Amino acid sequence: DAGVIQSPRHEVTEMGQEVTLRCKPISGHDYLFWYRQTMMRGLELLIYFNNNVPIDDSGMPEDRFSAKMPNASFSTLKIQPSEPRDSAVYFCASSLLSRGGIDYGYTFGSGTRLTVV
């Protein structure tokens, strides 16, 4: 398996533009997580899905952020409109938490570095 795949690796956009980040989880994993990482706040959980269903989106900072998981192999995180304070590294992670998979932890993608100017 190629691991969790995120695209793009880097994104530079102007304030007010729409940004879409993409994630392909590991096949067979039943949980998918979106995190944001900054120097000041570390890794913050934004939202997570179980079997493609959003379970907890309380970490989504505001209505400008939305996430979808239309099927087991694809998820998107969208920011519209983007603002400079959204600049961060966004990570997607997947896991097999059911069926004893917790011992294997989360598998993270390489992240998308977003810069909003």
Contact set with another protein (CB under 8 A) = 4, 31, 33, 35, 41-43, 45, 48, 50, 55-56, 91, 93, 97, 102-111
CB of 48 to another protein, least distance (A): 6
Residue number, 3 or 16, with CB nearest to another protein: 3
State which residue, 17 or 38, has the beta carbon closest to another protein.
38
Q: How far is the CB of 58 from another protein (least distance, A)?
A: 10
Integer angstrom CA distances of residue 27 from 4, 32, 71: 9, 11, 11
Whose Cβ is closer to another protein: residue 81's or residue 110's? Answer: 110
Rounded to whole angstroms, the Cα distance separating 25 from 113 reads 18
Q: 69 vs 111, which CB is nearer to another protein? A: 111
Q: How far apart are CA 27 and CA 19, in angstroms?
A: 25
In single-letter form, the type of residue at position 40 comes to M
Class of residue 104 by CB neighbours under 10 A (exposed 0-12, middle 13-18, buried 19+): exposed
In the complex, minimum distance from the CB of residue 62 to another protein, in angstroms, rounded to a whole number: 20
